Amino acid sequence: MECRTVARELTIEGTGIHRGEKTALRLMPGTRGIVFIRGGRRIRATPSNVVDTRLNTAIGEGSVLVSTIEHLMSSLYGAGITDCEIEVSGEEVPMLDGSALPFVRLLEEAGTSPVGRQCAPIQVPSVFRSQRGDAWIEARPGPFSLTYEIDFPDPAIGAQRYRFNGGDYAAEIAPARTFGRIQDVEGMQGAGLALGGGLHNAVVVDGCRVLNPEGFRFPDECVRHKVLDALGDLWLLGVPLVAEIRAFKASHTLHVDLTRQIFEAMTEERQR
């Protein structure tokens, strides 16, 4: 496939969901992969630069951190953007409406352009798996697909399963918003997290009730959002992953661990 970047500069402003601080992004054409820039420090979006996976995916170098990158990364996957310079004014990427759709719309308006080199997709040669307790994610040799399953005690969510075969990302996956259980949200805010969160940028459930007046965008919006997150975390590889991917009750920690395993295996293979 042809490596691509944004065709023109874009600016995005919003609030970070965890710190609740205003932040701005400037997306610029690039040729050296996906690179976040904060305070003059350049941090490549690669598995080796991930420094935190609790409730989000954060990359960093030294004391410089950029967190909650997964929705933006997922939108770059959806747009086929392999190279981009992303200047961040604060610690977090804006949450916007809790989905990848606002990013996707902006990227569609800007368009993409080739960077002058080819990006070979990664085809896994064997099974890669990451597991913690009964939660797991794995990638097997085969054509691309991502099948995700979740199971929550809240009847409003319950057990959901979704299979994405690489179809219409903008219609199927991008609109799905981040979600949470009311008791978990209250616990996070008590710990100084989710300070910028609310019904404007997340779906919140309480048992059998959806607290958002508009309800869900899809009956299975929660599992679709997990697919969104996984695609963003897998885009840390920088090129498409050709594999049959399955996940059950997984997390950013498991997504990134699987991505890191594949990244390290491919790096070793290239060095032989």
Enumerate the active-site residues.
252
From residue 127, give the alpha-carbon distance in Å to each of 67, 191, 232, 241, 247.
Answer: 29, 38, 21, 13, 13
Contact (CB, 8 A) for 52 and 85: no
Distance CA 230, CA 74 (A): 8
Distance CA 121, CA 146 (A): 16
244 DSSP β-pair partners: 140, 145
User: Which two structure tokens, joined as six digits, stand for 223?
Assistant: 């599992």
**Cα dihedral sign for 184, 52, 70, 77?**
negative
179 DSSP β-pair partners: 203
Q: What does the H/E/C string look like for 160-226?
A: EEEEECCCCHHHHCCCCCCEEEHHHHHHHHHCCCCCCCCCCCCEEEECCEECCCCCCCCCCHHHHHH
The one-character DSSP state at 39 is T
